[in-house]
């Protein structure tokens, strides 16, 4: 399927201004919004790379869907799980730093039209990486590459550097009524 998309809709980047999109806030939907961008980009035959910094080995629906879009879509789950449930915070931080190094390398290689850095904001928030390093990488990214960043607690400096910022605000969530996370909605 993905090969057909690639052959039928060749990616063109001439005239493209690479944007930085930021999806932040306490509400649900940040990763979902970024994956919506990925789906749109794939529809145009663009190459997309998703790098997840905190999510671990839990089974997510998007992982199965990603298999259907190879080779246009690369999906890298590089975390060990959510840090507030960690049994070894130092190993979590090391995995996140390794994911950051991989992200920097992937951006510099310039093989993708869109790179999604899922839950990246936490790395700065918890001082796993220096915010200045993140801002420098974004400033020096390839000119036609789009980068989408997700996560709560985006800093003012990151908000200022982004071209598109959407804040997800929680108004109501089914968990408040005792409804647990459901397949196809939360994962």
3-state secondary structure of 75: strand
CA 25 to chain centre: 15
**119 carries an active-site annotation:** yes
**28 carries an active-site annotation:** yes
Which residue of the set 23, 24, 30, 62 is catalytic? 30
**152 carries an active-site annotation:** no
**98 carries an active-site annotation:** no
**40 carries an active-site annotation:** yes
Which residue of the set 24, 62, 80, 119 is catalytic? 119
CA gap 30, 136 in Å, rounded: 23
The closest alpha carbon to 186, from 175, 176, 177, belongs to: 175
CA gap 69, 91 in Å, rounded: 31
Which residue of the set 12, 40, 132, 140 is catalytic? 40
**84 carries an active-site annotation:** yes
The closest alpha carbon to 150, from 86, 98, 103, belongs to: 103
Other CB atoms within 10 Å distance of the CB of residue 89? 12
Which residue of the set 10, 23, 24, 26 is catalytic? 26
Which residue of the set 24, 58, 80, 84 is catalytic? 84
**100 carries an active-site annotation:** no
Which residue of the set 13, 16, 32, 106 is catalytic? 32
Which residue of the set 13, 16, 39, 82 is catalytic? 82
| Tokens representing residue 25 in the block | 């806030």
3-state secondary structure of 183: coil
**169 carries an active-site annotation:** no
Which residue of the set 16, 17, 23, 31 is catalytic? 31
Which residue of the set 13, 28, 39, 166 is catalytic? 28
**30 carries an active-site annotation:** yes
| Tokens representing residue 45 in the block | 């035959």
Active site residues: 26, 28, 30-32, 40, 82, 84, 119
């Amino acid at each position: 399927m993905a090969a057909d998309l690639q052959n039928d809709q060749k990616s063109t980047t001439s005239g493209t201004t690479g944007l930085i999109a930021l999806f932040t806030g306490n509400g649900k939907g940040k990763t979902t919004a970024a994956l919506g961008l990925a789906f749109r980009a794939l529809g145009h035959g663009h190459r997309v790379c998703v790098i997840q910094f905190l999510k671990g080995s839990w089974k997510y629906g998007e992982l199965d869907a990603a298999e259907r879009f190879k080779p246009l879509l690369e999906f890298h789950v590089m975390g060990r799980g959510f840090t507030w449930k960690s049994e070894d915070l130092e190993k979590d931080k090391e995995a996140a730093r390794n994911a950051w190094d991989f992200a920097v390398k992937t951006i510099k290689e310039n093989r993708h039209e869109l790179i999604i850095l899922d839950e990246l904001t936490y790395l700065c928030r918890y001082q796993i990486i220096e915010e200045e390093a993140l801002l420098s990488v974004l400033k020096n990214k390839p000119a036609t590459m789009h980068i989408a960043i997700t996560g709560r607690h985006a800093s003012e400096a990151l908000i200022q550097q982004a071209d598109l910022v959407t804040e997800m605000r929680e108004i109501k969530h089914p968990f408040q009524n005792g409804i647990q996370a459901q397949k196809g909605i939360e994962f």
